[in-house]
Chains A and B, each alone.
Chain A
Amino acid sequence: NAGVMQNPRHLVRRRGQEARLRCSPMKGHSHVYWYRQLPEEGLKFMVYLQKENIIDESGMPKERFSAEFPKEGPSILRIQQVVRGDSAAYFCASSPGRGDTGELFFGEGSRLTVL
């Protein structure tokens, strides 16, 4: 049973370019979370999605960042016009989405470097 799959694992972008990070949740999981982690820091919540629905985006910057989880296909975190401060590891996690918030299964992360 495949775990949470994230790609790309590493991404290098120049300032002003766009970054697209993809996340396929575990089989049977309908809820996806995105977290950002700066070097030597904790995990900062960004967004929580169900299929075709954003449940909580309180951690998303107001500009340049967007996320979606379409009916078919992976969840996508999109960063437009990247800046050096966007360099970080972006982790996706999934859960079955039943009842109270339970265990999250994390992917291995996508490490974005902005030159």
Chain B
Amino acid sequence: GQQVMQIPQYQHVQEGEDFTTYCNSSTTLSNIQWYKQRPGGHPVFLIQLVKSGEVKKQKRLTFQFGEAKKNSSLHITATQTTDVGTYFCAGATGTASKLTFGTGTRLQVTL
């Protein structure tokens, strides 16, 4: 079945440093989504990418979707303590398909 892997599993940065998480799918995706889950909380949608090679920005966050539509990345510039949490990518393979979540990257930010 479809597998979605993320690296790194865990990253600890100092506030102000940059952070990147990478997402790789075993199958071609129709779209990829990113979610953030704070400790003890529930996943919250961040963004959806649909087009091959698409790049989207949200303030300090930059999201990319690979040309082959099998990988994606999330980059955070100048991290803040509010960025703490686990970031999941999630891929769909078509209409009315389940969303398969990646393994997640847990980000810890310290002052």
Residues of B that sit less than 8 Å from A by CB: 1, 30-31, 33, 41-45, 48, 50, 88, 90, 92, 94-104
Contact = CB atoms under 8 A, between A and B. Distances in A.
A99 B30 CA distance: 12
A97 B45 CA distance: 16
Nearest to A44: B101
B101 A56 contact: no
Nearest to B95: A100
Nearest to B41: A108
A104 B88 contact: no
A108 to B, nearest CB: 5
Contacts of A56: 97-98
Interface in A21-57: 33, 35, 41-45, 48, 55-56
Contacts of A107: 42
A63 interface: no
Nearest to A105: B45
